[in-house]
């Protein structure tokens, strides 16, 4: 079997998702750190591999896969257990909706490249950028809490881990980094606590990854 390489950055939310997914599926991989603050993802060498210049990128089975949810979909199609989405169409839609609240409605607005653009060239202070970050989490988390409360068991959708949980945990990590109050989201906090005690999630945590010197 060829070496599986994950190009990631230790604190990238999207990379965190893929690390969780690889661990859940029991897929061994080698990590290659791409320094986002130093703009290593913009280098000619990296863009030759991934024209968009983002992380994560997964080299697997002769493919170079990009976009975290697309990578997770590939892993789910090629490694059946545990399934990341339910078989029931309505439950599947619900899991995807919760995942997309995070991946489409929160994360793009709080991505590092957006925060850097707010700083320069737009000239916004760090305090303003932090307020921006917290605002978009606070906009989405109440709806996500309500969505989760009606379906949650041990995990966000019943008692099986799903794509929604894989997306939630990195977002809770980010919320805590930026001091977002979480008392109003007891279901989300409970699910995150469950995840922290799961080996696949714990091993993917940013604090356990290679960090720049």
Q: What is the pLDDT of residues 75-100, one digit of tens each?
A: 999 999 999 999 999 999 999 999 99
Is there a single domain that holds both residue 117 and residue 192? yes
pLDDT confidence tier of residue 211, bands split at 50, 70 and 90: confident
Domain that holds residue 178: 89-200
DSSP category for residue 158: B
C-alpha 189/C-alpha 4 separation (Å) is 33
> If you search the block for the tokens 């409360």, which residue do you land on?
149
Class of residue 112 by CB neighbours under 10 A (exposed 0-12, middle 13-18, buried 19+): middle
- The DSSP bridge partners found for residue 13 are none
Q: What is the pLDDT of residue 213?
A: 61
Is there a single domain that holds both residue 119 and residue 38? no
How much is the pTM?
0.95
Q: Residue 137: which of 164, 161, 95, 168 has the closest Cα?
A: 168
CATH code of the domain in which 147 resides = 1.20.1050.10
Q: Residue 168: which of 101, 89, 110, 109 has the closest Cα?
A: 101
Is there a single domain that holds both residue 44 and residue 96? no
pLDDT confidence tier of residue 2, bands split at 50, 70 and 90: low
Q: What is the pLDDT of residue 4?
A: 97
Is there a single domain that holds both residue 117 and residue 140? yes
The domain boundary, picked from 65, 82, 99, lies at 82
Helices (H), the chain: 13-25, 44-49, 68-78, 89-100, 107-110, 112-119, 126-149, 163-177, 186-196, 199-204
């Amino acid at each position: 079997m060829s070496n599986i390489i994950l190009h990631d950055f230790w604190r990238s939310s999207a990379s965190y998702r893929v690390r969780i997914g690889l661990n859940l599926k029991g897929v061994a991989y080698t990590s290659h750190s791409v320094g986002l603050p130093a703009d290593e993802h913009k280098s000619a060498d990296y863009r030759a591999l991934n024209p968009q210049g983002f992380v994560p990128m997964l080299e697997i089975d002769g493919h170079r896969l990009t976009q975290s949810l697309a990578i997770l979909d590939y892993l789910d199609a090629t490694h059946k257990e545990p399934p990341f989405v339910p078989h029931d169409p309505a439950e599947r839609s619900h899991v995807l909706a919760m995942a997309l609240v995070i991946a489409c409605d929160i994360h793009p607005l709080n991505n590092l490249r957006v925060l850097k653009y707010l700083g320069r060239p737009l000239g916004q202070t760090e305090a303003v950028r932090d307020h921006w970050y917290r605002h978009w989490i606070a906009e989405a988390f109440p709806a996500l809490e309500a969505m989760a409360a009606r379906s949650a068991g041990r995990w966000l959708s019943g008692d099986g881990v799903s794509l929604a949980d894989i997306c939630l945990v990195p977002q809770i990590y980010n919320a805590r980094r930026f001091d977002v109050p979480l008392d109003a989201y007891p279901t989300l906090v409970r699910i995150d606590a469950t995840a922290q005690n799961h080996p696949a999630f714990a091993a993917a945590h940013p604090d356990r990854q290679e960090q720049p010197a």
